């Protein structure tokens, strides 16, 4: 019985690491380009070095308004103070808007999550 429990614990830990975090369906994946609080400018995540170099010409960008209660979460899902947003400029993020379209949650993406976003083409806005 003990071996079965240990096996299930190991199997569960492997699967959770492979999946990473789960994001809501309306999540926007982007690069945080600039912060002029309470507004942020975001851009599509480039899928390769060529689109990254030519990003100013080909990649879409948008400006979003932050809520006064916006929450930042790091790669370990720990909440961060809003002033840390300046440390993640030019980094890939996942943004969950509230019901009015304002920024409610911002997650810093890990390298694996960023690659997953690119592979599933969630980085391309329609």
Please report whether residue 38 resides in a domain: yes
pLDDT of 42-55, one tens digit each?
A: 999 887 766 555 55
Domain with residue 62: its CATH number is 2.40.50
Asked if pLDDT for residue 58 goes beyond 90, the answer is no
- Of 104, 116, 118, nearest to 46 (Cα)? 118
Considering the entire predicted model, what is its pTM? 0.77
The phi-psi region of residue 41 (left if phi > 0; otherwise alpha if psi is between -120 and 50; otherwise beta) is: beta
Total domains present in the chain: 1
Asked if pLDDT for residue 17 goes beyond 90, the answer is no
Please report whether residue 64 resides in a domain: yes
Domain range for 112 is 23-119
Please report whether residue 102 resides in a domain: yes
């Amino acid at each position: 019985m003990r071996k079965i429990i240990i096996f299930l614990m190991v199997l569960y830990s492997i699967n959770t690491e492979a999946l990473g975090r789960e994001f809501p369906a309306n999540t926007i994946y982007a690069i945080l380009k600039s912060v002029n609080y309470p507004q942020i400018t975001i851009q599509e995540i480039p899928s390769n070095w060529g689109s990254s170099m030519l990003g100013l010409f080909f990649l879409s960008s948008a400006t979003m308004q932050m809520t006064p209660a916006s929450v930042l979460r790091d790669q370990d899902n720990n909440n961060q103070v809003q002033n840390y947003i300046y440390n993640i400029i030019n980094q890939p993020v996942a943004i969950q808007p509230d019901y009015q379209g304002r920024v409610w949650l911002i997650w810093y993406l890990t390298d694996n999550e960023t690659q997953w976003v690119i592979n599933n083409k969630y980085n391309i806005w329609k």
